[in-house]
Amino acid sequence: MREDSPPRREAGGHPAHFDPELAARELVRGAKPGDVHVRVARPGLREFRRVAPRRLVATRRAMQPRGRVGRVLGALKQALIGEPLATERLVHERLTKVKALAVLSSDALSSSAYATEEILRVLVLAGAAALSLTLPIAFAIALLLVIVATSYRQTIKAYPQGGGSYIVTKDNLGTWPSLVAGSALLIDYVLTVAVSISAGVAAITSALPELGPYAVELAVAFIVLITLVNLRGVRESGTIFALPTYLFIGMAFLMVGLGLARLATEGPADLSAAAGHLPVQEPLTLFLVLRAFASGNAALTGTEAISDGVPAFQPPEWKNARITLTWMAGILGVLFLGISVLALQFAVLPSEQETVVSQLGRLAFGGDSVPYYVFQAATMLILVLAANTSFSDFPRLSYFLARDHFLPYQFQFRGDRLAFSTGILALGLLSGLLVVAFRADTHALIPLYAVGVFVSFTLSQASMVVRWWRRREPGWQHGLPINAVGAVTTGLVAIIIAATKFEHGAWMVIVLLPILVLMLRGINAYYVGVADQLILEPTSKPRLPSPPIVVVPVQGLDRAVARTLAFARSLSERVVAVHVTDDAAAGEALRARWESWSGDVPLVILESPYRALVPPLLAYLDALQQQDPQAPITVVLSEVVPRHFWEYLLQGQVALRLKAALFFRPNTVVVDMPYHLGE
């Protein structure tokens, strides 16, 4: 306490002043600055604005971190994620269709970078001849894309406020199905990050094979970077996203165009020559074909993004969103089919060292040409953007789930930069673990992927069917069949994916999904139970059933203890100091000092023949409690706080151990009186 700020109280008497509203500054507004009384009388003037009676607004000044450690950590955090932003700066950018396509399609469009390859990888198991099935499968997937997009056009109109699968399902099918949809999406967002980053790293290592051994490190570095960027709360700024997305679209179309031109002039490569030496590892069964189809459906992931993001469009939102969705589906369909045709005609085979799309790029642009490297860079960037999309979607879905009490409420809070920090960190951590566990291998992750997406597609479309039927709004005769076809088709595909990829990894998702659903339900049950127990009748007057029994454990008699005893005496008439010791002589010596000293709190010596401190004290509290079962047992702890952190090790953790033990004792209040050394 500084000498130059004297306490404002009457001589010898009680303090005159207690103003919880910090309103006193009004009274002295005319005083000269520098006057001591002005400083004392204007508490909190710079830290708070008083906007109404008993209502204060903290200023930026109130946010200063304290202590050396706090300041260092604060500076570090600010360097990493930037200055805190006030809530009022939360703005929602409205996107033109051109920007919206860039922001919301990166996940879907980027799938074209790996979807064809995943089909080839399955078919090639049955030998070169089986590869000719690539095109029929690709067309089937393209047809599915049309069905899903048409279905979602209905959702967009029905949910202009944003029709994520969780919300739509909750609205129409109820809690359990919505939790299935939510869990499926949570899983798939994590997988989107892992798959997209792994594929993005594969685009780099295809162009620069010498980076191959560092794939996992690169992938983790990307995830850390994206996590930090999202904690900084970079808005879904269309401008930042537009460049890589349109660069990728442009380069990919160029590649397909150049490839087709070369095909027209040179004719197709001889597939059986290129692939003839491949061993037949599995017979060409319907199951294998379905598995290839299931793997290719990774192309459809991300299609739902536009219907989630309708409110971000400029008005008329739903119309613009619909147009954008159609465009996106068209671009994705053309790219995916084009790449599939080229891969087959040029007899490009999957390899461990280079992606199929990179091989096509070399063929179209020339092996070491600048356009090839630009194309690879664009592919990498759009894949990173796709991962980044999950960093908006996952935290937003976690927010909805937390708001509905299905996830810990920390997921509701916005961090310093207005982003949902908990969700962002959780996603970064989970996807990072996944990338490390799967060694950043896209092909190993793909079997886990898309199950969740198709489960949520199915539930979302089925919800729309129920909605049409219940409401029978204009156009329902047209909309219901569309969504019904969508629901049945995506449902079938979900089953195909789960069945054909089951043993290759989909089982993990199928096992995890119900566990996650039950976890969400369990969390909800806990929160509901707590709220029930804590409900307060509006008439119940707060009153202590019985004045507290106050116990002060003392290790000796010093200033800190004396101050603690004074505080304890102010709490209650029923105060006792307790000294637990294994040394009877030392105990009696303390009693002698105690009695020669002028305190008025009785001292009880508890001898502990087993030398333990906590158990005898707890047993003693129990014995006191039996004398008055209603009285809160109040334990006042005197704790010496050293000035330096390392000194804390020398101070013994008696108070800490007591606090930990007393925390779980019912009807117990712990009062902690730190005595700051050098105070």
Q: How far is the CB of 428 from a copy of itself (least distance, A)?
A: 19
Q: How far is CA 219 from the centre of its chain?
A: 19
Taking the CA atoms of 177, 182, 183 and 185 in sequence, report the sign of the dihedral they define.
positive
Please state the closest distance from residue 175 (CB atom) to a copy of itself, in A.
Answer: 18
Closest approach, Cβ 403 to a copy of itself, in A, equals 13
Joined together, the tokens standing for residue 598 give 């002028």
Cα torsion 378, 383, 388, 390 to 10°: value is: 150
Which one, 10 or 368, has the nearer CB to a copy of itself? 10
Q: How far is CA 510 from the centre of its chain?
A: 22
Report residue 599 as tokens: 């305190």
Round to whole Å and give the CA distance between 456 and 460: 6
Nearer to a copy of itself, 284 or 605 (CB): 605
Other Cβ atoms less than 10 A from the Cβ of 57: the count is 12
Task: Match 């454990």 to its residue by tokens.
Answer: 553
Residue 302 has φ and ψ, to the nearest 5°, of 95, -10
**DSSP code of residue 507:** H
Question: In 3D, which of 218, 223, 236, 195 has the Cα closest to residue 113?
Answer: 195
Joined together, the tokens standing for residue 301 give: 């992931």
For tokens 């809070």, the residue is: 413
Residue 180 CA neighbour count, 13 Å, CB half: 17
Task: Kindly state the smallest distance separating residue 86's Cβ from a copy of itself, in Å.
Answer: 4
Residue 515 or 619 with smaller CB distance to a copy of itself: 619
State the nearest-atom distance from the C-beta of 452 to a copy of itself, in Å.
Answer: 24
Task: Identify which of residues 210 and 600 has a Cβ nearer to a copy of itself in the complex.
Answer: 600
- Please report how close the Cβ of residue 26 comes to a copy of itself at its closest, in angstroms: 14
Strands 575-581 and 603-607: parallel
Shortest distance, position 231 Cβ to a copy of itself, whole Å: 14
C-beta closer to a copy of itself: residue 477 or 596? 596
Residue identified by tokens 């890589």 is 244
Amino acid of residue 165: S
Give the shortest CB-429-to-a copy of itself separation in angstroms: 15
Is the Cβ of residue 53 or residue 367 nearer to a copy of itself in the bound state? 53
Task: Phi first, then psi: give them for residue 637, nearest 5 degrees.
Answer: -105, 135
Compare residues 287 and 413 and give the one whose CB is closer to a copy of itself.
413
Distance of closest approach, residue 412 Cβ to a copy of itself, in angstroms: 10
Helices 238-266 and 370-403 pack at an angle, to 10 degrees, of: 130
Pairing verdict, β 55-58 and 48-52: antiparallel
Residues 6+ apart with CB under 8 A from 589: none
Query: Which C-beta is closer to a copy of itself: that of 280 or that of 528?
Result: 528
Q: Which is nearer to a copy of itself, 263 or 669 (CB)?
A: 669
What's the N-to-C CA distance of the chain in angstroms? 8
Q: Toward a copy of itself, which CB reaches closer, 319 or 414?
A: 414
Tokens (6 digits) for 647: 């000194």
Q: 146 or 677: whose CB is closer to a copy of itself?
A: 677
The dihedral through the CA atoms of 187, 193, 199, 205 has a sign that is negative
Least CB distance from residue 167 to a copy of itself, whole Å? 21
The candidate with the shortest Cα–Cα distance to 652, out of 553, 550, 534, is 553
CB of 426 to a copy of itself, least distance (A): 12
Nearer to a copy of itself, 235 or 569 (CB): 569
3-state secondary structure of 550: strand
Q: Which is nearer to a copy of itself, 481 or 545 (CB)?
A: 545
Written as one letter, the residue type at 408 is P
**Beta carbon nearer to a copy of itself, 257 or 652:** 652
Find all residues with CB under 8 Å of 29, minimum gap 6, and list them.
none
Amino acid making up residue 455: V
DSSP string, 499-536: HHSGGGTHHHHHHHHHHHHHHHHHHHHHHHHHHHHH--
Inter-residue contact 318 to 156 (CB < 8 Å): yes
Please, what is the minimum distance in Å from the beta carbon of residue 593 to a copy of itself? 8
Min CB(455)–a copy of itself separation in Å:
26
Asked, as a colleague might, if the bond just before 15 is cis with ω within 30 of 0, I would say: no
Q: Rounded to an integer, what distance in angstroms lies between the CA atom of residue 389 and that of residue 411?
A: 18
Nearest distance from C-beta of residue 425 to a copy of itself, angstroms = 15
| d(C-alpha 549, C-alpha 612), whole Å | 23
* Nearest residue (CB) to a copy of itself, 176 versus 413: 413
Task: Compute the least distance from the CB of residue 61 to a copy of itself, in Å.
Answer: 8
CA distance 43 to 338: 71
